[in-house]
Amino acid sequence: MTRTITLAQELERLDASGLALCWEGLPEGEEDAFRGGLAAMLELPQLLEEEVLIVPGALMNATYGLTGDNAYPASLRIAVVEVPSQVRALVPVLTPRGLRFFDNLVTNDAREQHRIDGGPSGG
């Protein structure tokens, strides 16, 4: 139950959902361990049935115009699992473990790219 995302529209949907939890740099073949670890940590066994979506770094760069130091390595794999809305409240617990919501990732990438491109700070 793993699928690689290939379309920008799919990224836009994940961003808009606000419920796509991600891990940057998941090694190939570790999708089941990632899903299982999330299910155990969050005490949500239903996550074992969720599809792990893999977002290639190259697609992130192309979709969001990421360049220079802000660009992802093309082969980087960002693993994403859509989670129930109550998980959003656990951000303080998730962040120290390297987990982020996809919309947060996109927002931070855009802010940094704006800075790199010479936009005013705080943008």
- Residue 63's SS3 state is helix
Asked if 64 contacts 51 with a C-beta cutoff of 8 angstroms, the reply is no
Tens-level pLDDT at each residue, the chain (123 residues): 899 999 999 999 999 999 999 999 999 999 999 999 999 999 999 999 999 999 999 999 999 999 999 999 999 999 999 999 999 999 888 888 899 999 999 999 999 999 999 876 554
Give the pLDDT score at 123: 47
SS3 24: strand
Residues 6+ away with beta carbon under 8 Å from 2: 31, 51, 52, 53, 54
Instruction: State phi, psi for 84 to the nearest 5 degrees.
Output: -65, 155
Predicted TM-score (pTM) of the model is 0.91
pLDDT for residue 85 = 94
Kindly give, in sequence order, each residue whose CB lies less than 8 Å from that of residue 95, ignoring residues fewer than 6 positions away.
none
